[in-house]
Amino acid sequence: MRKFIKFSVLLLCSLMALCVSCSSSDGPSDDKEVPPTPPANPGELYPWEENRTALLNSTDMVLIYGGGHHREPYNWDVDRISSYVTYKDKAGTEHWLFDAFLFLELKDTGNGGTNKTYTYENQEGLDAANQKDWKRLVDYYFASSTGLGALNRAISNAQKRLENPKTKHRVVIAIPEPIAHKTPANENSTTVYWGSLDGHIMDFSIAQDRVDACKWYIDYVRSKFNEMQYQNIELAGFYWLAETAGTTRDIISKVGAYVNQFKYSFNWIPYRGAEGHDKWETLGFNNAYYQPNYFFNTEQSYAVLEETCKTAKRENLDMEFEFDYRVLASNSEHNIYYPRMKDYIKAFKAHQIWDTKRLAYYEGGGNLLSLKNSANEADQELYHEFCQFVITRPIRSK
């Protein structure tokens, strides 16, 4: 790739040394600008961390996807996220809805995107996100008028109409997976691509470098949360984006220990049968939500969903409720997927998941709002049935 010019033996040696440390294929990044080290010093506690005596609990955590340019709309503004903060029933009475919000993203594609992936799985041949991409994602979450800022404002608006919730709403932030190779699909691609910390060029073939990159990200999130001074939300924890332990088993416990050091919970949502799902506590997670994957696999019988509930109870796992746009009456596959979503309600109640387990909610990145705004009667009925399922749970924290 490079062309060496042999002016002299000395020059040749200099170029060879440069090749080892800063080659175009093995350099820290293809971006010239390297993000600064977060202002928080390792181990330095912010006031809310000093005052925290235990991990913060929640019962109903909705997944808020954002940061990838393939998302439409791209931003979560106040109007959009308000429908996840409160719910108005058929009689017109307003209720608090979800008590926790998990902000996460899998990739950044689409017009204006970087064409990078934040996770090894489903990476579609994309390159792995680097340090600058990780920073950009955090800055997206902490923009003043969208993301966490919009959530904070939506809660403030709702407090003018409702009694204050028993606790502040919780926020959980996903940690991108520190993928070993720059091109995940190519194990011969470089492991020196992410960036540098304190002058050290990170090599993701080294487990400690991957751990340190995660610590950098965690500290940057903490510093941004401190900077914004939100009044209505609390940073409750972090989420491990890799849905199986297969590619990250060697670093999970160290990242979890760092998260717990500041009294944050370490959360995970493994898919059904994922490697490590039955060892989630040993791996170092505080909470693990098991994905049934029943909604998406139409060949799975209802009996499989029931067995997944039994597995969750046996292995002390919490669970995820799943649906997407295919439940909408306007979708050609509505008649297949509509009853599958209702099966979650049925099975979760029959197997005491509804009344005893924490739940995470995957709704495909905005489809609860689509149900709410639909003019179709079946969509409206499903919307109210789902929201009633959430707000009437005996385990509710508020």
Q: What is the DSSP letter of 374?
A: -
- Alpha helices, DSSP H, located in the chain: 9-22, 47-51, 78-85, 131-141, 148-159, 207-228, 252-261, 280-283, 302-314, 334-350, 353-356, 367-373, 377-391
Distance CA 73, CA 65 (A): 11
| 120 phi and psi angles, rounded to 5 deg | -65, -40
What pairing do the DSSP bridges indicate for beta strands 86-88 and 94-96? antiparallel
pLDDT at 313: 97
Q: Give the pLDDT confidence of 63-117 residue by residue, as tens digits.
A: 999 999 999 999 999 999 999 999 999 999 999 999 999 999 999 999 999 999 9
Q: What share of the chain is helix, strand, coil (3-state, %, to 5)?
A: 35, 15, 50
pLDDT at 85: 98
pLDDT at 44: 83
Low-confidence stretches of the chain (pLDDT beneath 70): 1-43, 397-398
Give this prediction's pTM.
0.90
Q: What angle do CA 152, 264, 75 make, to 5 degrees?
A: 35
Residue 151 CB partners (closer than 8 Å, separation 6+): 76, 81, 85, 101, 169, 171, 232, 233
Q: Which CATH architecture has domain 53-391?
A: Alpha-Beta Barrel (3.20)
Place of tokens 């385990």: 395
Report whether 273 contacts 252 (CB < 8 A). Answer: no
Distance CA 197, CA 246 (A): 26
Report whether 67 contacts 108 (CB < 8 A). Answer: yes
pLDDT at 124: 85
Domains of the chain, by residue range, sit at 53-391
Please report the sign of the dihedral spanned by the C-alpha atoms of residue 40, residue 41, residue 47, residue 49. positive
Q: Give the pLDDT confidence of 5-15 residue by residue, as tens digits.
A: 333 333 333 33
